[in-house]
Amino acid sequence: MKIALDAMGGDHGPAPCIEGAMQAAKELDVEVILVGDETTLQRECARLGATDGRLSIRHAPQVVEMHESPAAVARKKRDSSIWIATELVKHGEASAVVSPGNTGASMVSSFFVLGLTKGVERPAIATSLPTLTGEAIMLDVGANVDCSAKHLEQFALMGNEYGKHLFRKPNPRVGLLSIGEEDSKGNEVTKEAFKLLKASTLNFIGNVEGREVYSGTADVVVCDGFIGNVALKISEGVAETIKKLLIKEISSSWLGRLAYPLIAAPLLNLKRKIDYAEFGGAPLLGVNGITIICHGRSSAKAIKNAIRRAKGMAEGRVHELIQRDIEETIASPSPVEPSA
């Protein structure tokens, strides 16, 4: 299986991408097509000793910068590494595309090059979150800011297929992010979505509160992209703040400084557990192919994990299963009474 990797998009240049691809080729039985400026990639590969025959380079003359808008990418950057990497999937030369670059550029490339899955109104980005009991999926975390109840229902269907694949569970627990567990709690959109989900064939466990997201109550947490993105960034903010305050507290007492070497390893383990970069990236669901979006700061290990996820999702034909579910729902919609 071949995976197309946008090797130019990350914050730290091509090196983590090339190293991640080397590890993936060695450990995961995949071929990786590094897409980007040929001269740069050849030079970096030589420098890093990337001589593995399972790596190849595909030239792309343009690069998308982090600040560029999706609209500008669609208009002017059709020779960029992300766009050309996505075209490799479209033309069957690769089974999936992985990018640590500009999220909007990944979205717009997949939207235009691969196209929306038939019946899907909006694609969604599904991220993985660490929980007390393992891992949960949250979607959408940023592709769509103003969503209808119908959009949330589709996110639930897409998240469900992704959850089945990721957790190897036949019926992942699907929850709706809201402000109370009771059916009646929420804003207008979530209350309407609650009815649709309750009437669906999903294993819908009802509303989940923000507090429960990290306790592992649900396998799949559904929300609109505005709230999902705020929730994700708030989580990072809290984790970052706690870390800084903890280090400050510990180093402000001599007993703490004495203890620090002893707890350094547990702290590092904890960091790994809550570091979503380690989780293998976030797929864009609802397009005709497998697209994995990674953080711009991705390490080589994070890139390898994203390639692993891309491979698994391509093998599992997750995008085709999503299409089947969406088509079935459109053919026989949830029997929900119109709201007053």
Residues binding its own copies (CB under 8 A): 130-132, 142, 145-146, 177-179, 186-188, 190, 209-215, 223, 225-227, 229-242, 244-246, 249-250, 252-253, 255-256, 258-260, 262-263, 265-267, 269-270, 273-274
Closer to its own copies by CB, 49 or 237: give it: 237
- Give me the least distance between CB of 231 and its own copies, in Å please: 5
DSSP state of 92: T
DSSP for 205-217?
EEEEEHHHHTTTS
In the complex, least distance from residue 142 CB atom to its own copies, rounded to whole angstroms: 7
Alpha-carbon dihedral sign for residues 288, 225, 79, 297: negative
For residues 321 and 146, the answer to whether their CB atoms sit within 8 Å is no
Cβ distance to its own copies smaller for residue 76 or 248: 248
To the nearest whole angstrom, how small is the minimum distance from the Cβ of residue 45 to its own copies? 34
**Two tokens, residue 256:** 């703490």
- Tell me the closest approach of the beta carbon of residue 178 to its own copies, in angstroms: 8
Of 134, 135, 114, 45, nearest to 284 (Cα)? Answer: 114
Q: Given the complex with its own copies, which of 87 and 224 has the nearer CB atom?
A: 224
Report the candidate in 185, 175, 188, 284 with the shortest Cα–Cα distance to residue 223: 175
Closest to its own copies by CB, 23 or 131:
131
Report whether 150 contacts 196 (CB < 8 A). yes
Amino acid at 17: C
In the complex with its own copies, which residue's Cβ is closer, 39 or 69?
A: 69
User: Minimum Å distance from CB 283 to its own copies?
Assistant: 19
Per the CB < 8 A criterion, the answer to whether 199 and 336 are in contact is yes
| Residue nearer to its own copies on the CB measure, 259 or 330 | 259
Q: How far is the CB of 244 from its own copies (least distance, A)?
A: 6
Pairing of strands 124-130, 135-139: antiparallel
